[in-house]
Chain A
Amino acid sequence: MRFLLDADQRAFAASLHAMLTAADTPAVVRDWSRGDHTSGRALWSRIAEAGVFGLAVPEEYGGLGPHPVELAVAFVELGRHAVPGPLAETVGAAVLLGGPPLAGRFLPGLAAGKDVATVAAPGGHAVDGDAASLRLAPAPDGLYLSTAAPGPVRRSLDPARRLTPLAPGGELLAPAAPYDRALTWIRLATAAQALGVGLALLDRTVAHVRQRTQFGVPVGSFQAVKHRLADAKTALEFARPLLFGAAVSLRPAEVAAAKLTACEAAYRTARTALHLHGAIGYTAEYGLSLWLTRARALHSAWGTPEECRELVLTEGL
């Protein structure tokens, strides 16, 4: 029993944080939101070089994995920097395509960042189908690789998530695919991303209320402000152990609990962040919007609160 990240894992997080800080991700997010994927693909390659996608890919196919704990560590950082693109979906694709006939064909490209993959949500859209080189559509009779051009982009509340319907059919890759296992990994990655989004929102809001002065004092000295931030901090810090516990066990119910809790904490933090920034936080132009809108989108992606609770109640923790 030693439920703590070790020095290597913390160093991995720190190196990703440094790399992403230097990459000016807000500008990349703005490009991506306009459908210009050039800077986003360049960043994608650097993330792949850091080994992130390889964490879901076994060594024999060019990866380092599976390393779900390190994957969670990495995705917290991706969320913290609001990195755009179908990140969790690419992880899910690596799991869906992880069996012997398909793995050799697809996994090396995913691990190396040459391919960007998206996966259609059941009955829903695929995120960033216009940017993805692999568009996977799980169907009742098997897993399809969509070959038609993705449908017109529908706007998400988060402008950086470009939602595209996938045309039915395409190349039938396998009559059966490990969809449940892939969903578990996607949920884990989404939970981690959400935690990172929440942590970034908290950091930015703490910085804001320390420097914003009203009535002659920093607004962060007011108890009404402090207590909202204390609650946000507490919610995020209790989501963290659920996330890493889920990464250790990979039990669907634990992952669902982590997903629900991290997304709820991130969303509540977003509400607090918006409120404490006042009107400036309500503008599209101000950078806070990148995280605010992401928090809401991830909240319903890959497992609504209701679906997550259902798993917890039926399977237990």
Chain B
Amino acid sequence: MLGKDGDVTVDLTHSPADEQFRTRARAWLDAHVPRTPLPSLETAEGFAAHRAWEAELAADRWSVVSWPERYGGRDAGLVGRLVFEEEYWAAGAPGRVGQNGVSLLAPTLFAYGTPEQRARVLPPMATGEVVWAQAWSEPEAGSDLAALSSRAVRTDGGWLLDGQKTWSSRAAFADRAFGLFRSDPGAPRPHQGLTYLMFDLRAPGVTVRPIGRLDGKPAFAELFLDDVFVPDEDVIGEPGQGWRIAMSTAADERGLTLRSPGRFLASAARLRDLWRDRGSPGHARAGVADALIAARAYQLFTYAAAARVQEGDRLGPESSMNKVFWSELDLALHETALDLLGLEGELADGAWAEGYVFSLAGPIYAGTNEIQRDIIAERLLGLPKGRR
């Protein structure tokens, strides 16, 4: 029977401290969020404007609220971070140009980096002074990431990188990159003998060739690496252990850190406003309601995940459900918006165009949704492995 009479333990009320934190965040954002949207962060001009915005956030310690204070954060915790993000996106604040570093590299450094690496890498990441790009995929290694062939060869005091990376988000304008390289070509299995490294995109031997995404903006790039020197201090974790380290980063990416619920709550609210402005047409009613509901579901799912993490659980394969859910939610939400806009929906400079183009990539990056469904089926449901 029920143990504790009247004791509500499933609790969705924020602590007074979190509510005060929310109030302070809201006040700061009210005073600082640019009145007119910044240019697209996938352009040179927009990238610079977004970098300056990161510096403005960081000056008052709002850029990485969940990090320890010594690296520029506020020790706000997981729930504090979610609260901040709700306020951030509700305020219509700019996209985060430092996202790749903050959501992918930083958690890896917190888990596997040395104190020296954290002290050196994290503070300039927090201010936007150094913007990071990811360098995972290669021409012959996409979903099958372990097939990657770019090499890291031992040299005096470090490693020499050779090979080609591609679909490297933000790399057209970013400063540094992180990724996996094959350091032991003789390892018996493809997942073995990989090393996780950070490197300078302006180092000798690096050629960055920007790639125009669907709307032509250079949102990602190819990287050609020709004997690029990386000092030992830029290896994360043990050489040869890169796959395990990267997969823990990948679970973070799909899980709590890459797409915060606040973003979709804000988009769904904007969609509802658009729908009302257009006279609440019946054809979009279901799409609008479903976007509101899905954003709320994602928020609550994330709060439950945060509670588990706080009690010592690790996010495992269930973060694959997260990734499928938010990427499909984002796409459906933007498609409903374009439907509501009618003929205007076609305009490339329309208010929803940038978000729509971005949402199209969601089911592809951070591990395609097919890879996620395989993970859900095999690791959550226990179905046998088979041909993909």
On A, residues with C-beta under 8 Å from B are 1-9, 11-12, 50-51, 64, 67, 69-70, 202, 206, 209-210, 217-218, 220-223, 225-227, 229-231, 233-234, 237-242, 244-245, 247-249, 254, 257, 260-261, 305, 309-310, 312-313, 316-317
Contact = CB atoms under 8 A, between A and B. Distances in A.
A221 B386 contact: yes
Nearest to A202: B381
10 contacts: A5-B10, A7-B3, A51-B1, A226-B377, A229-B381, A234-B321, A238-B321, A242-B297, A261-B297, A317-B293
Nearest to A317: B296
A1 B305 CA distance: 12
A210 B383 CA distance: 6
B381 A1 contact: no
B376 A313 contact: no
A9 B298 CA distance: 23
B298 A238 contact: yes
Contacts of B272: 313
A260 B2 contact: no
B98 to A, nearest CB: 27
Contact of A245 (B3, B12, B285, B376): B12
A44 B381 CA distance: 32
A316 B378 CA distance: 37
Given A226-B378, A237-B321, A313-B289, 18 more contacts: A1-B18, A1-B303, A3-B10, A3-B307, A51-B1, A217-B384, A223-B370, A233-B376, A234-B321, A237-B318, A238-B301, A241-B301, A242-B293, A242-B296, A244-B300, A257-B292, A313-B288, A317-B293
Contact of B307 (A1, A50, A64): A1
B10 A242 contact: no
Interface in B2-17: 2-5, 8-15
Contacts of A223: 370, 374, 386-388
B79 interface: yes
A233 B321 contact: yes
Contacts of B247: none
B286 interface: yes
Nearest to B18: A1
A244 B10 contact: yes
Contacts of A234: 321, 324-325, 376
B303 A220 contact: no
> Which of A51, A230, A310 has most chain B Cβ within 10 Å?
A230
Given A4-B304, A220-B384, A226-B383, A248 B373 contact: no
A218 to B, nearest CB: 5
B184 interface: no
Given A226-B383, A233-B376, A8 B2 contact: yes
B380 interface: yes
A92 to B, nearest CB: 21
A233 B300 CA distance: 17
A272 to B, nearest CB: 12
B202 interface: no
Contact of A12 (B1, B378, B380): B1
B343 to A, nearest CB: 25
Contacts of B278: none
Contacts of B342: none
Contacts of B383: 206, 209-210, 218, 220-221, 225-226, 229
Interface string B4-34: 1100111111110010000000000000000
Contacts of A7: 3
Given A1-B303, A226-B373, A9 B10 contact: yes
A1 B79 contact: yes
B10 A6 contact: yes
Interface string B348-388: 00000000000000000000001011101110111111111
A206 B386 contact: no
Contact of B297 (A70, A229, A238): A238
A2 B289 CA distance: 27
A300 to B, nearest CB: 16
Nearest to B295: A317
Contacts of B303: 1, 3, 241
Closest 5 CB pairs of A and B: A221-B386, A241-B300, A226-B377, A309-B289, A8-B3
Contact of B370 (A1, A51, A218, A227): A227
Nearest to A67: B2
A242 B296 CA distance: 8
B311 interface: yes
B290 interface: yes
Contacts of A240: 301
A26 B378 CA distance: 29
A97 B376 CA distance: 45
A206 B381 contact: yes
Nearest to A305: B286
A317 B2 contact: no
B209 interface: no
Contact of B377 (A229, A257, A305, A310): A229
Nearest to A223: B388
A8 B293 contact: no
A233 B380 contact: yes
A295 to B, nearest CB: 19
B10 A257 contact: no
A233 B293 contact: no
A225 B15 CA distance: 44
Given A313-B288, A317-B293, A230 B10 contact: no
Nearest to B288: A313
B381 A230 contact: yes
Interface in B266-283: 272, 280
Contacts of B288: 313
A257 B289 CA distance: 9
Nearest to B378: A226
Given A1-B14, A5-B10, A309-B290, A227 B297 contact: no
A233 B378 CA distance: 12
A1 B9 contact: no
Given A1-B307, A245-B300, A217 B386 contact: yes
Contact of B373 (A1, A202, A227, A254): A227
